[in-house]
Structure 1
Amino acid sequence: MIIGQRLRRGACGSARGAARMIADALATVDRLRTHAAGTSGDGAPKVVVRGDSAFYGHPTIGAALRAGADVSVTVRLTSTIKRAIASIGDDKSAWTPIEYTDAVYDEATDTWISRAEVAEIPFTAFASQKKSHHTRVGWWCAASPTCARPRSRARARCSTSGGSRRSSPPPTPTTSFAVAADKTHRQHAVIEQVHADLKNSALAHLPSNSFSANAAWLVCAVMAFNLTRAAGTLTADPKLTKATTGTLRRTIVSVPARIASSARRLTLHLPQNWPWETAWITLFDNAFGRSYPIIV
């Protein structure tokens, strides 16, 4: 589900306005939790705000921390980061193999055999800024499968949780913090799938050269996306629960049916042997109820 959107001009930086957008999105999540559970949401899993290196800055991370969320963000390989990675050294016990693309699970040793590894090290973010911006973090770095351990690294990531080393979800007894955090961070393709879905539907062509009109169109596109996600979920069909907007539009929106009017009542005649009949009827029953026919 998309809970926040904003149209930006192409010339602006990626992090511009991100702090406010994160604050608004987390406030929306908190309201949704309160509305669903009827409580303040205490005891619920913490939200993890994931960002690329463009969003590594105190305004963005600080907004997430003030809202009570954890942060998992890619860090640019600055000279400070490189020195921190180099301090890990060649100690094999400091590095843990992770479940990467070509990893093989060894049942005998209950470990992953992989060329990609992670290591954890304490770190203070934004140390060059004023003291109120200094953030003590649980920081870990990931070794790329193509890099030789441990001197060169393709990525370094930082998980910030207000001074604690807890991640969401927390590490299990058989995994370390770095392994759990790295696995969570690499689940980044979800947002890319959302972008592809929007570009394949409402955002294929923006309707105007007016920025305000296109911003309104984006809001409508997000509303349509969320409504189709809800409709797919209400069908209770595993194939439609996570289907794209195009699939939902083809299967349960563009219905090959005929509407008949009799005695001031509309009757929808669905085709026989239609493959999506069960899913569509389940959606109808969940949305309106069997005992509440639509009467016009």
Structure 2
Amino acid sequence: MWRTLKSMTPGRRNKIAAARARVRRHVWAQLPGGIPASKVAGTDLADVIVLDIDATIVIAHSEKENAAATFKRSFGYRPIGVWCDNTSEFLAAKLRAGNAGSNTTVDHIEVLTEAIAQVPGTHRKKLLIRSDGAGSSHGLLDWLTEQGTVRGRSVEYSVGFAITGKLRDVIDLVPKKIWTPALDADGGVREGGDVAELTGLIDPKVLAKWPAGMRVIVRRECPHPGAQLSLFEERDGWRYEAFVTNTTAGQLAFLEARHRAHARVEDRIRHAKDSGLGRFPSREFNINQTWLMITQIAADLTAWTRLLGCIGDAATLATCEPKALRYRFLHVPARLAHSARRRRLKIPESWPWAAAIVAVFGNIAAIPQPA
């Protein structure tokens, strides 16, 4: 295994990425009911494929190649990845040193290009790219706007935006009657939260430096106990968060709730760390890059098992996180027996999830082979 990891080159990793894309195309074609819709504020986004991009810190407990000090005063790597919110798949990632910049445009464009290539062609017509404030760079927003001009493709973005001094001055200009109630995750009114659009109040000369059609939306809410507020926020007691989007339709509250759903990527990162991303095994950077690719494959296999296998009588396993799924299903104390030229997997009848495991195997066995 170690020799295999060490022998991997960028060219071989590209071939594996192409193979993953082919398998993904076959898997998506077999999904009962089609691709799951991304849920936002109690409704779904229909056939829109949502890609969430974010970076995380992986601590290294020993000297490793390209490991460096992080902004959180730890030591290790800072990989950046893209997850599909519809299916929980880990589409693409790039391993970076711990001191890599948060808003490095080149890194964002590279992983997003790889992630879009992983999405089957028939599902690239409507894309939504979500990011936190690290994605609010001129280069990335210009690139996303350009991607939306590709024939037959619609690319929308929802990206966090830094609240600078000039933006604070604009917030002061918002009339009280303009603020509208925000929505919670279930579509109800979010108590203590309001949203407003700032686009029309911003200096046109400043707005002209950003892509055409970009809208600036801000949310204010009552801070929770213990929250650290800026001097601007302490003045009126509200906590502010801003984001930008090129979506023209939809209520402000819905667009804000759609952007806030980007927080689900934190669960995807946590699940990936439970499946191999939490530790890099080698001192060599090339091997750790390959390890990151294997982590993506593991996340995909877990997602595909849920989507294709954990249905019907096996639906009880569909909501399991990696640790629970590993205990209930993957690590079951089963026995493989050979009899009458057939192989039989014997699962203990006392195992609480025995019936669900049998149903999963039946669902997987019914998947047709690729043509």
Band of TM-score, shorter chain: 0.7 to 0.9
2:174 is aligned with 1:70: no
Aligned partner (choices 69, 73, 85) of residue 171 of structure 2: 85
Q: Residue type of the partner of 2:328?
A: T
Aligned partner (choices 194, 199, 217) of residue 140 of structure 1: 217
2:186 is aligned with 1:98: no
Q: Could you tell me how far 1:32 is from its partner in structure 2?
A: 5.8
Q: Could you tell me how far 1:117 is from its partner in structure 2?
A: 0.7
Separation (CA, whole Å) in 2 of partners of 1:275 and 1:65? 51
Aligned partner (choices 63, 80, 95) of residue 7 of structure 1: 95
Q: Could you tell me how far 1:47 is from its partner in structure 2?
A: 2.3
Q: Contact conserved, 1:137 with 1:159, CA < 8 A, in 2?
A: yes
Separation (CA, whole Å) in 1 of partners of 2:168 and 2:272? 38
How many corresponding residue pairs? 260
Q: Partner of 1:51 in structure 2?
A: 131
Separation (CA, whole Å) in 2 of partners of 1:219 and 1:225? 10
Separation (CA, whole Å) in 2 of partners of 1:156 and 1:104? 20
Q: Residue type of the partner of 1:154?
A: Y
Q: Secondary structure at the match of 1:209?
A: coil
Q: Percent identity?
A: 25
Larger radius of gyration: 1
Q: Could you tell me how far 1:181 is from its partner in structure 2?
A: 0.9
- TM-score of the two chains, using structure 1 as the length reference: 0.76
Relative to structure 1, the CA distance from residue 223 to residue 286 in structure 2 (aligned partners, 3 Å threshold; closer, same or farther) is: same
Separation (CA, whole Å) in 1 of partners of 2:136 and 2:368? 54
Q: Secondary structure at the match of 1:13?
A: coil
Relative to structure 1, the CA distance from residue 56 to residue 287 in structure 2 (aligned partners, 3 Å threshold; closer, same or farther) is: same
2:365 is aligned with 1:281: no
2:289 is aligned with 1:212: no
- Large movers: runs of 4+ above 4 Å: 123-131, 147-153
In structure 2, stretches of 5+ residues that fail to align are 1-88, 149-154, 224-232
Separation (CA, whole Å) in 1 of partners of 2:366 and 2:192? 54
Q: Contact conserved, 1:100 with 1:116, CA < 8 A, in 2?
A: no
Q: Secondary structure at the match of 2:336?
A: strand
Q: Partner of 2:18 in structure 1?
A: none
Q: Could you tell me how far 1:148 is from its partner in structure 2?
A: 8.0
2:235 is aligned with 1:235: no
Relative to structure 1, the CA distance from residue 47 to residue 156 in structure 2 (aligned partners, 3 Å threshold; closer, same or farther) is: same
Separation (CA, whole Å) in 2 of partners of 1:55 and 1:104? 26
Separation (CA, whole Å) in 2 of partners of 1:288 and 1:271? 20
Separation (CA, whole Å) in 1 of partners of 2:205 and 2:98? 31
Q: Partner of 2:328 in structure 1?
A: 251
RMSD between aligned alpha carbons? 3.2
Q: Secondary structure at the match of 1:14?
A: coil
- Which string of whole-angstrom CA distances, capped at 9 and with x for unpartnered residues, describes residues 184-238 of structure 1? 1111332111111122231232110111111100110110111012112312144
2:265 is aligned with 1:265: no
Q: Contact conserved, 1:126 with 1:135, CA < 8 A, in 2?
A: no
Q: Secondary structure at the match of 2:213?
A: strand
Q: Contact conserved, 2:218 with 2:240, CA < 8 A, in 1?
A: no
Q: Could you tell me how far 1:5 is from its partner in structure 2?
A: 1.2
Relative to structure 1, the CA distance from residue 255 to residue 114 in structure 2 (aligned partners, 3 Å threshold; closer, same or farther) is: closer
Q: Contact conserved, 1:22 with 1:60, CA < 8 A, in 2?
A: no
Q: Partner of 1:22 in structure 2?
A: 112
- TM-score of the two chains, using structure 2 as the length reference: 0.62
